[in-house]
Structures are given as structure tokens and as C-alpha cells.
Chain A
Amino acid sequence: MDLAPTISTLGLSRRFGDLIAVDGVDLSVAPGQFFGFLGPNGAGKSTTIKMLTGLLAPSSGRIEILGLDLAAHPVEVKRQIGVVPEGMALFGRLTGAEFLSFAGRMYGLDRETAAKRAVELLEFMQLADQPKKLVTDYSHGMQKKLAMAAAVIHGPKVLFLDEPFEGVDAIAAGTLKSMLQGMIARGATIFLTSHVLEIVERLCSHVAIIHKGKLVAQGSLEELRAGVEAQTSAGSGDGARPSGEKLTLEQIFLRVVGGTRPAEQELSWLG
């Protein structure tokens, strides 16, 4: 069965002066996918996620979320998505409960529902024990959990997460992962960027890799693995491995973006 994509972009580009940060990206994310969007630093990941969530206007191209054109129907799209952007979008001088209740109402929930969900989310995220504490006084990990809670308070169908596990300890990461897997099980679509490739490999069913603004690979992990292995066997064969051992996502990533460095380029003066 061929389902219409939840997220699709066509020729998505973004220029900053002379720099082309995102260059003609065609993305397609099917409903219910846990989609990892990878790339080296400065490749255009955050720029893409900002454009997909309406935080940044594209220079050209088209974005469709849940079949709706983002440029034509921004409010309808935003109502159905949740975002944890790069800066977490928190209001420091509110308490956790006040902030979640505020976020819920900004997403159109009524006062009672917003308040009830705020309490539930704080308990789930283990943030409920200090109700008087202001967000500005939270640790980085607590802020990440709160930002995640705010992004899901309205029950979005699509969730965009920019580096959700950055600076989060193992316990908090476990809490976040279980919540995200629960959402996928209930049919939501998740689009995340992360530098922690092990987490992406464990969580995501599909991956896209962006490099220097261009999309260089897209598909399921198996499709990407098969593509890289085919290229390797057709090439010089420097990636020869014992038979039966699968390529890890890190190996796939490094081969796709050409991250290996010749030994003679190493910094010989380093102690």
C-alpha cells in the first residue's frame, strides 16, 4: 500500500547571502516513520528543520506536511505538529506547570485540559517534585525534558526534534526514548536530527543524510546499507569486512559523507 507522505519537500532550498545552506532537498517521510535526519556540522540539518516547522522561510521549494502546503496553510499545519527547536523555546521565568499550561493553550487546548496534561507530563518526565522551581533554574537535561513535554502536550501527529538527546543523561534519555516509541506505536511520525548515531540506529527506521546542503542518501537503514555495500564492492574494496557483519550507521554515514581522512593529514605536532 502506497501511503501519501506525512512530510514531503520538493526542491527545498535556503540561501543566506551567497551561502546555499540547503540546496534542492527532496524529502519524503511516510506516516508512522521514525525518521533520522543526519549530517555533519553545518550540513543544513537545523536549517531544514526550521523550514519544516515554519521558523524559517525557504528561499525556494515546497513543503507539504500531512498533505497541506506549509506556505498556504501555516496555522493548520502548526496545529498538528510539535517542535523542539535548537534553542528549546522555553520561557525561563515560568514554573514547569505554568509553562506547559501556557504551551497547551497556545496550541488551542482549553484551560482544564492544558492544566491536566501539564500535570501528567510533569509526572511522566519526573519533573513534578519541585513545582515552584522556575524553568531558568532547571538543569539542561530537565529543560530538554520540559521542552519535549511542551512539544507533545497537544498530541501532535508529527513531531520535529532538533538534537533531542544533546546534553541529556542516560536516565532522561531513557524516559524520552520510551515516550517517543510510544508515540510511534500510536501512529505518530517523528523527524529528528541527532549527532548520536547509535541512538538514531536504535530508534529510527528510516534515515536521510544531508551533506553541504544536498541530500546525499535517503531510505530505510537496510536500503542505505545495501547501497553503500554495493558501492564498496564496485569500488576499490577498501571496506572489506568479514562476511555476515553488518555495516553500522556510523560506517554508512562516514562512507556517504566521505568523513575518513588520510593518515598523512593527521596533526603530527599534537602531543
Chain B
Amino acid sequence: MSPTVHRRGQLTAIANLRWRMFVNGLRSRRGKMELASRIIVTTAFALGGLGGFAFGIGFGFYFASQDKLEFLAVLLWPILFFWQVFPVMATAFTNNPDSSDLLRFPLTYRSYFLIRLAYGSFDPASALGSLGLLGILLGVSIARPLLFPWTLLVVLIFALFNLVLMQTVFAWLERWLAQRRTREILGVVFILFMLSFQLIGPMMERFGNNPHPEFGRATEIAARVQAVLPPGLASNAIAQMSHAKIVAGFTSLLFLGVLTLAVGCLLHLRLRAQFRGENLSEAAARPAIQQVQGLQVGWELPGFSAPVAAVFEKEVRYLARSGPMLLTLIMPIFMLVIFRLGPMNPMRHTNFLNRAPDMAFPGAAAYALLVLTNLAYNSFGGDGAGIQLFYAAPISFRQIILGKNLTHASIIVANTLLAWIAVSYFYGVPRAAVSVATLAGILFAAPLNFTAGNLLSIYSPKKRDFATFGRQNVSQTTVLASLGMQVVIVAVGTAAFFIARFYKNLWIAALLFLVLSTVSIPLYVMVLSRIDGIAQQRRETLVAELCRA
């Protein structure tokens, strides 16, 4: 058998494997629900992609007809950012299988490399980015038909650069995520990086209101730097060719090609190590001096049973060992700082919170609730095979859920308290009516979130893998349901505050929330009292999903 036939057979087998995995996944009721959720998510993406496509056509046409093709960089930069950042940010929407699983088969290195790229090209970010680029290609070609072949070539190389860069970023991220310590450092760095993006808006707003000569100079330098980076090179290649500057156009394209190759080399380094059977063992070296095992007595929670206290302690220890998760939980405070970085000039309060500082505390509290969805809506995700202990132990599932909810409630209380202190510092002490209305709002929203979270944690569990990024295997059903629940809560909360502000009496909001909490709290208690039966009914699904290797 020739190597080409051999490779084709392997690639066909892999494509068939993915198809069979998809089809077999539909056998269960949960699989069908996942498909329905995926169709909704894909439709939303398709609409977004079509928007980007139309945007690309419009602006591509405009820049080409106005002979300003160097401005295409303005379109190409967002595409590059989206293509690279979206898969990392929205792991819930990406579902790339682990290509290293295939290493046990006699694949050539070239096949392995190609499979990795092929997996990446099925990513939503790649599909949407490609749609945007296709729009640009069409827009430019409609305005300047003669530029079509050249633009096609440039756009293809730019797409290839993005595809290779995305895979390189993932391959290296996974290298660092493979070990717990580097994983946690990387998690913290990642969140700080994301936060720095949030700072751009307020900073621009702040500096934009006053003439800053340094800012202008920095912009000039940034413009020069971007010209030698892929989006700048791609737009320059098209612009130069449109002015018949063939050498300059080819030079830009050549540089773009060189950058693609350079990134490809970085990917090659990683994949080659994987292909050679790299072993990233987490086992620490045995210490020279043996440490003495002391007596560690567990925690006690007054008013709660020992199993509830044990679950609470376990949850807190898990959180304390997850740097990124901890940082996520204190994000509301960061957000307050970010909002406060808006314009200080009291006459030009364009920032919403500066215009309505009484909304700062409710806003921060709402955000505190929001960041908790990740934990509360898949509360068994991190337990993995440990779920079997919960079923094997002589306790009711209600106690386990209660222990988990207590942890989540403690986080809300701590976050709300911190938010109140931060708001008092940044915007002044919130009025009593605002504070009470916010607390009443939490009293309504938290039990509702816990109720939905507890049910989804049991009905739609997904094992959380601390060592992967893009393959986080999140349930689409949970993503959609939690999104829906947050929309409802935010809408109800906003309506209550709107009504209260309309009547210029925030106590109305407090009253409304208290009335609503008379529904949400009994609902929580009712679901909690039935959770044992539900958990017993769903034990096979839970155990099978969470014990999955």
C-alpha cells in the first residue's frame, strides 16, 4: 500500500470517527438536548458571521472604491483578535477533541500536523473569521475586479496565518496547562491579561478628553508597528498592488508568509515533542527529608451537620487551590475600579456609573452573582470520579447540595461586602434604600440561581478538566439555560430598579425584591427537598459523565 493511500485511509477513518462520535452522542435524550442547544448556538454564530461578512463586503468595497486599501488593516485587526481570543475566551462554544489521542496509531508526523490544523479549521472562530475575510475579498473584488486574484492570495495566507497561530497558541497553552503549578500561574496571567483589555476603554475615554502629546506619539509608533504585523502586512500588500507597486506588494506578502512560517515552526516544535511521546508528568520528586504528617481536624459549621461541613470545607479547599477561579470571584471589585477609571471631570460624566452612582452597588452585586454561574451551574464538574463517594456514603444528596450552596452563598456574601466597601470608597457610601434594595435583590436572585444551578448540575453535568483550555467540554444545554436565567434575573432586577427610580423611591425596589423572594426561596426549598429523588434518578448519568476518563 502506498504511503498516500495509507494516509488518505487514516484521514478518512478520523473523519468517520468524528462523525460516528457525533451520531452516537445523539442516542441519549441528553445528546438530543445537546444537539438542540448546539443548533441554537450555531444559528446565533451564523447570524454573527453573516453580520461580519456583510461588514467585510461593505467596508472592503468602500476602502477599495475610495482607494484607501491600506485601511483594510482596520478590518483585519479585529478579525485577528477575534480568531485568536474567542477560542480562549469562549471555551464553552469550542469543542476540539484531543488530537494527541491519535498518537497510538501509526500516523506520520505530517498527517498528525495536518489533523491538528484540520481540527482547528472546524472551530467556530475559524469559520467566523473566514466569513469576515470572504466578505472583504468580495467587497474589494466588486469595487476593483482586477485585484481579485491578488486579494484572494493575500486573504488565504492571512487566513492560514490565523489558523496556524491559533493552533500554536493552544498547543503552547496546553503545554503550560499540563502541570498544575504552571497552570495556575498561567490562569492568573490570563485573567490579568483579560482585565487589561477592560482597561483600554476607560483609559481611552480618559485620555481622549484632554490633549496628551505623549498619547499622539504613542499612536504614531503603534501605527508604524502594526504595519509590520500580519494585518498591516496583508492590507499593505493589497494596497501596494492596487497602486501597481508590484515589488512592494510582493515584499509585504513575503513578510506575511515568513511570519506564517515562523509561527508554523513554533507549532512544529510543540507538535513534534507531542509526536515523540513527550511525558509531562505532574508527579513531584520525592523530598529528601520526610515531612511529618500532623493531625488535621476538619471544619465545623455551627447549625449544620458534619457532612454539610465536610462538603463546605472540601469546596473551599478546591477553590483555594484554583488561582484563576479565585481571581474570577473577585472580579466584581476589579470591575468597579475599571468603571471608576472613566473621566473624572464631573461636567463630562459619560460613564454610566458616574452618571448614576447609586447603581454602582447593585451593579457590582449583580456581577458577583453572575461570576458564580460558572460554579453553581455545574457544581459537580470538578468532583470527577469523587461523585461515587457521594453516592456510596450514607448521607442524603440534599446535604451535599446544601454544602455546595453554602459555599456559593458565602462567596456572594463576601463579594457583596467587598463590593459595598469598594463602592463606598469610590462612589460614596450607598444610600440605605440602595443597600437594602440590593440585598433584597440578592435574596431573590441567589435562591433562583441556586435552584436552576442545582437542577442543571444534576441533569446536565460535565466533567471539568483543569488541564485543558479549548477542550473544556461544557454542556451547551447548561450554557444556554444559565444564559437564559441570567437574562431573566437581570431583566427583573432592572425593571424593579427602573420602576423605583421612576417613582423616585428606591424602597419600592426593595419591596418588589422581597415580594419576589417569597417565590424564589420556597422554590429553592421545594427543589432541595426533592433533590434526593432527582439525584437517585440521575445517578447513572452523573456517575458515567463525571467518571469519564
Contact = CB atoms under 8 A, between A and B. Distances in A.
Interface of A: 53-57, 74-79, 81, 83, 85-94, 97-98, 101-103, 105-112, 114-116, 118-119, 122-123, 128-134, 136-139, 150
B106 interface: no
Contacts of B391: 54-55
A217 B292 CA distance: 49
Interface string B360-385: 00000000000000000000001111
B15 interface: no
Contacts of B393: 78, 103, 106-107
B291 A75 contact: no
Contacts of B300: 111
Contacts of A79: 394
Contacts, number: 142
Given A56-B540, A93-B318, 16 more contacts: A55-B388, A56-B543, A79-B394, A90-B386, A93-B322, A98-B296, A101-B296, A105-B306, A107-B393, A108-B307, A109-B306, A115-B298, A116-B295, A131-B292, A132-B291, A139-B283
19 contacts: A57-B536, A87-B384, A87-B547, A89-B388, A89-B392, A91-B318, A93-B322, A93-B382, A101-B298, A102-B313, A103-B393, A105-B306, A105-B309, A107-B394, A108-B394, A111-B298, A136-B282, A137-B180, A138-B283
Contacts of A137: 180, 282-284
B317 interface: yes
A134 to B, nearest CB: 7
B286 A130 contact: yes
Contacts of A103: 389, 393
B546 to A, nearest CB: 8
A105 B312 CA distance: 12
A134 B291 CA distance: 14
A144 B459 CA distance: 30
Interface residues of B, number: 48
Contact of B385 (A87, A98, A131): A87
Given A101-B298, A102-B298, A137-B284, A122 B543 contact: no
B294 interface: yes
Contacts of B321: 93, 134
Interface of B: 180, 282-284, 286-287, 290-300, 306-307, 309-310, 313-314, 317-318, 321-322, 382-396, 466, 536, 539-540, 543, 547
For the complex of A and B, 4 pairs with smallest distance between CB atoms: A87-B385, A89-B388, A78-B394, A79-B394
B307 A106 contact: yes
A130 B287 contact: yes
A123 to B, nearest CB: 7
Contacts of A57: 536, 539-540
Nearest to B390: A106
Given A93-B382, A94-B314, A108 B306 contact: yes
Nearest to A112: B297
A105 B298 contact: yes
Nearest to B384: A92
Contacts of B286: 129-130
Nearest to A103: B389
Given A87-B388, A111-B300, A136 B293 contact: no
Nearest to B308: A105
B467 to A, nearest CB: 9
Given A78-B392, A118-B296, A89 B385 contact: yes
A69 B184 CA distance: 47
A91 B386 CA distance: 5
B532 to A, nearest CB: 10
Given A75-B395, A78-B392, A130-B286, A119 B295 contact: yes
Contacts of A97: 293, 296
A117 B124 CA distance: 52
A74 B394 CA distance: 7
A136 to B, nearest CB: 7
A124 to B, nearest CB: 12
A90 B389 CA distance: 8
A138 B281 CA distance: 10
A7 B493 CA distance: 56
Given A105-B307, A115-B298, A130-B287, A53 B392 contact: yes
B392 A54 contact: yes
Nearest to A118: B296
Contacts of A130: 284, 286-287, 291
B313 to A, nearest CB: 7
Contact of A111 (B306, B392, B547): B306
Contacts of B388: 55, 83, 85, 87, 89
A253 B543 CA distance: 31
Contacts of B389: 89-91, 103, 106, 150
A176 B543 CA distance: 26
Nearest to B318: A93
B392 A85 contact: yes
Contacts of A139: 283
